């Protein structure tokens, strides 16, 4: 490489918009569940591009599809039929509640489209212009565009950009009574993550999602599940909603679907799709043959019963090891939450997730902060028990160090 890590960091400081605070590491390549920086140091990756790289790095079938499809056809536009587009849509529908799919490029874009579709459906179906409200929840994260941000709770993300899209009403996550107070005849849609990710890894309760389903049915509102982070095998079932026995009317997907390539999807019932017409929505790059072909390989790999069994087994093991860690460091870890391969360690008051994340890099482990005070672990779904042991050993070393530095005793 003809550029040094220091030069990369200097160029970033000069030319990249300052919307991220990046560590002084330049990642250069990946292999399996390992990342390597420009100096060749190995890091065990328990972030996976924020729950994106489900098959890790360099997955042979994914690479083979990528290469073959790139040679055949990369992009022609949504103006035309292409083969991988419809095959991926058929696979997604056959394995879920959905009848139809709209593809896009990201989770934000999927949620933006989902809100549009739900509003149109609610208006057309009810015949009432005023049926446009969207109900969203505390700690929710649905993206950064004006519509998706309008249903995202974090004030820090919202305030500088207000006014956002109007018509949003708020309730408390996992508090059905609070939802009952705001869902009514004007509600077009309720949008919720079955397992909140950016909010700090909080699984919904069964009663909460069941109750939201009933309230949506009662008031003719669409139930939207945002499975951008928790969908596609992350929680140990293909869809997180399967664990709750509650199906939505619309579901949004993104992160892992392209195995690292950008793709989002809005899955919907026939009833929702019925109100849509040519011109209602569109996206230039969406559903390209290249990305949908790769996504189909990723999807068909994740769908295998053995693959999902593996996620459940290793996920349960990771959960056990994290609970053990929390018992060993009760002054540092307040709570362990998660399911499948989506876990959060809530830290004790006064401890910053960034302290743990930065110490993690020194011990060759990549983890990320989420919520206010939580460290998130979302490794590639191909992670093995031995990697879990390595990660937990690194976290032990990190907590020893952080505990000593902060004067908090471990056990």
Ligand X SMILES: Cc1ncc(COP(=O)(O)O)c(C=O)c1O
Chain contacts with ligand X (rule: CB under 6 A)? 50, 106-108, 111, 141-143, 193, 197-198, 226, 228-229, 254
Distance between CA atoms of residues 175 and 292, nearest Å: 38
- Shortest distance, position 190 Cβ to ligand X, whole Å: 15
Distance between CA atoms of residues 132 and 352, nearest Å: 40
Nearer to ligand X, 84 or 194 (CB): 194
Could you list the beta-strand ranges (E) of 212-297.
222-226, 250-253, 264-268
Distance between CA atoms of residues 84 and 119, nearest Å: 29
Q: Which residue is nearest to ligand X (CB)?
A: 107
Q: Are the beta carbons of 138 and 372 closer than 8 angstroms? A: no
Nearer to ligand X, 254 or 322 (CB): 254
Q: How far is CA 198 from CA 95, 157, 315, in A?
A: 26, 12, 19
Nearer to ligand X, 69 or 229 (CB): 229
- Shortest distance, position 385 Cβ to ligand X, whole Å: 26
- Shortest distance, position 308 Cβ to ligand X, whole Å: 20
- Shortest distance, position 96 Cβ to ligand X, whole Å: 17
Nearer to ligand X, 56 or 197 (CB): 197
Measured CA angle at 230 (ends 375, 112), to 5 deg: 110
Distance between CA atoms of residues 393 and 29, nearest Å: 24
- Shortest distance, position 42 Cβ to ligand X, whole Å: 26
Question: What is residue 79's DSSP assignment?
Answer: T
How many other CB atoms are there within 10 angstroms of residue 254's CB atom? 28
Distance between CA atoms of residues 169 and 316, nearest Å: 36
- Shortest distance, position 45 Cβ to ligand X, whole Å: 17
Residue with tokens 């998706």: 148
Nearer to ligand X, 89 or 263 (CB): 263
Distance between CA atoms of residues 235 and 252, nearest Å: 16
Nearer to ligand X, 188 or 254 (CB): 254
Nearer to ligand X, 264 or 403 (CB): 264
- Shortest distance, position 253 Cβ to ligand X, whole Å: 9
Distance between CA atoms of residues 343 and 339, nearest Å: 6
Residue with tokens 């949003």: 168
- Shortest distance, position 227 Cβ to ligand X, whole Å: 8
Nearer to ligand X, 65 or 111 (CB): 111
CA nearest 139: which of 323, 337, 395, 315? Answer: 337
Distance between CA atoms of residues 131 and 167, nearest Å: 10
Q: Helices 289-303 and 305-328 sit at what angle, rounded to 10 degrees? A: 70
- Shortest distance, position 107 Cβ to ligand X, whole Å: 2
Structure tokens at 272: 């929702």
Nearer to ligand X, 266 or 359 (CB): 266
Distance between CA atoms of residues 194 and 140, nearest Å: 10
CA nearest 260: which of 83, 51, 12, 1? Answer: 51
- Shortest distance, position 254 Cβ to ligand X, whole Å: 5
Nearer to ligand X, 107 or 344 (CB): 107
């Amino acid at each position: 490489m003809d550029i040094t890590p220091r030069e990369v960091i200097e160029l970033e400081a000069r030319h990249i918009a300052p919307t991220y605070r990046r560590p002084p590491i330049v990642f250069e390549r990946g292999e399996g569940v390992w990342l390597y920086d420009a100096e060749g140091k190995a890091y065990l990756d328990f972030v996976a591009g924020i729950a994106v790289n489900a098959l890790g790095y360099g997955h042979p079938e994914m690479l083979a599809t990528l290469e073959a499809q790139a040679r055949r056809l990369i992009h022609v536009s949504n103006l035309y039929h292409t083969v991988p587009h419809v095959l991926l849509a058929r696979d997604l529908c056959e394995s879920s509640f959905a009848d139809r799919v709209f593809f896009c490029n990201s989770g934000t874009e999927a949620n933006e489209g989902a809100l549009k579709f739900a509003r149109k459906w609610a208006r057309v179906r009810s015949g009432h212009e005023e049926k446009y409200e969207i109900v969203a929840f505390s700690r929710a994260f649905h993206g950064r565009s004006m519509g998706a941000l309008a249903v995202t709770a974090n004030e820090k993300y919202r305030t500088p950009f207000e006014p956002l899209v109007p018509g949003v009403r708020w309730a408390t996550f996992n508090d059905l009574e609070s939802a009952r107070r705001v869902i009514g005849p004007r509600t077009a849609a309720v949008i919720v993550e079955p397992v909140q990710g950016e909010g700090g890894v909080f699984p919904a309760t069964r009663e909460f999602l069941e109750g939201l389903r009933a309230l949506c049915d009662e008031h003719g509102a669409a139930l939207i599940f945002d499975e951008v982070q928790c969908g596609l095998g992350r929680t140990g079932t293909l869809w997180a909603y399967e664990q709750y026995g509650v199906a939505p009317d619309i579901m949004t997907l993104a992160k892992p679907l392209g195995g690292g390539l950008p793709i989002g999807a809005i899955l919907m019932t026939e009833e929702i799709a019925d109100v849509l017409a040519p011109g209602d929505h569109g996206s230039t790059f969406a559903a390209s043959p290249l990305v949908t072909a790769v996504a189909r390989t990723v999807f068909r790999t994740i769908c295998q019963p053995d693959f999902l069994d593996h996620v459940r087994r290793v996920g349960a093991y990771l959960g056990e090891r994290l609970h053990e860690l929390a018992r060993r460091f009760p002054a540092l870890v307040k709570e362990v939450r998660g399911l499948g391969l989506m876990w959060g360690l809530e830290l004790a008051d006064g401890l910053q997730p960034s302290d743990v994340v930065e110490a993690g890099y020194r011990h060759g482990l990549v983890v990320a902060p989420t919520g206010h005070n939580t460290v998130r672990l979302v490794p590639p779904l191909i992670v093995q028990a031995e990697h879990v042991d390595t990660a937990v050993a690194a976290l032990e070393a990190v907590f020893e160090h952080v505990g000593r530095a902060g004067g908090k005793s471990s056990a």
